[in-house]
Structure 1
Amino acid sequence: MAVIGNYFQVKEFFKTNNKLNQVFAYLDDALDPTSEVHQRIFSSKEPRVQKNDIDGECFAMEQVYMTKERESCFFESHKKYVDFQLILSGCEQMEVIDIRHLSFKNFEEDKDFISYEDSTKASKIVMQHEDLSVYFPNDAHLGLAFFETKQLVYKTVVKVPVEYFR
């Protein structure tokens, strides 16, 4: 059950889950140009991924990357974590599909990373500034694909333990 929309509306959707307070405080900072988090993410013009702890259980993968051809992308999901993916700058095409509709390819337990064979039946979503997508363990998602033109994207992906939602 992916949740996708404007950051502030999605934040409102999760407001009753107090376990997410630090996650949303971090995401608020990521959107605030005066914050240390925002400045750290935007300090690079080169592609990179940097891991940062949020609360000892949640962590962020701060990313700068160039979008690419759809054929170079892949579907993934996770067992232990829910992904909160926030676009800070740029635009990318995401795809999402329930894992039941895909063929399993590989599982890397140490990375909590499941990959799948490609599919043309997934829903396509254009993600841009201030858009947040939340992917649960049953949501296979494909990112990094360009929409209209290749461009540099600044994004942060917060990994939240599934236990936060029980």
Structure 2
Amino acid sequence: MIVDTLEHLLENEHAFGEKIQRGLKFLKNTDFSGLAAGRHDVDDEMFYFINEYETKEAAECFWEAHRVNLDLHYILEGTERIGYAAIERLDVRDEYSAEKDAVFFTGELQSAVAASPGDLVICYPQDGHMTGIVAAQKEAVRKVVLKIKL
């Protein structure tokens, strides 16, 4: 898992492969303000979701990981905590679904980062992640989750 601001990641884009570089530039150059929540296609290698929700306690959230796509969580509004755990430290709750490109887990939340507008969290296939966790107080979050095919 990589956590930083979009601006910092763009400054160090040489550290990433071509697909992630393209994804970072896409996030930088796209105006998401007028777009509705839900799925939006970019091309054969990228699509994204505009997610809108209210944060909640970790006990109400869930762990997941993906095999086909990287997740780039880019916060537009609000603050949430995003939990992290290596998938081998979690217990499988629901086996991998190719349709959802997701496997769901159970496990204790031991590590989380707060993400605010402008922050970006990159989740690789080995990164179990739990999103939507309340930070200081419950609040509305609006974010882009860019999916990049590996």
Query: Do they superpose with TM above 0.5?
Result: yes
Specify the code of the residue in structure 1 equivalent to 2:19. K
Deviates further, 75-84 or 64-73: 64-73
What count of residue pairs does the alignment treat as equivalent? 148
1:24 counterpart residue number: 24
Alignment of 1:54-69 (within 5 A): 54-69=42-57
2:86 counterpart residue number: 98
Following TM superposition, by how much is the alpha carbon of 1:21 offset from its aligned partner in structure 2, in angstroms? 4.6
Following TM superposition, by how much is the alpha carbon of 1:148 offset from its aligned partner in structure 2, in angstroms? 1.5
| Greater helix proportion | 1
- Within the candidate set 101, 107, 122, 1:118 is matched to 107
Q: State the SS of the aligned residue for 1:110.
A: coil
Once the two structures are superposed, what CA deviation does each residue of 1:16-53 show, in whole Å capped at 9, x if it has no partner?
533345422331134xxxx3x33225xxxxxxx41111
- RMSD of the alignment, in Å? 1.6
Q: Do 1:22 and 1:55's aligned partners in 2 also have CA atoms closer than 8 Å?
A: no
Alignment of 1:1-166 (within 5 A): 2-15=1-14, 17-30=17-30, 35=31, 37-40=32-35, 49-106=37-94, 107-121=96-110, 123-162=111-150
Specify the code of the residue in structure 2 equivalent to 1:52. H
> Which consecutive residues of structure 2, in runs of 5 or more, have no partner in the other structure?
none
Q: State the SS of the aligned residue for 1:140.
A: strand
Q: Percent identity?
A: 24
Q: State the SS of the aligned residue for 1:71.
A: helix
| Greater strand proportion | 2
Superposition TM-score, scaled by structure 2 size? 0.90
Cα distance in structure 1, aligned partners of 2:107 and 2:5: 27
Q: Do 1:76 and 1:115's aligned partners in 2 also have CA atoms closer than 8 Å?
A: yes
Following TM superposition, by how much is the alpha carbon of 1:67 offset from its aligned partner in structure 2, in angstroms? 0.9
1:44 counterpart residue number: none
> Which consecutive residues of structure 1, in runs of 5 or more, have no partner in the other structure?
42-48
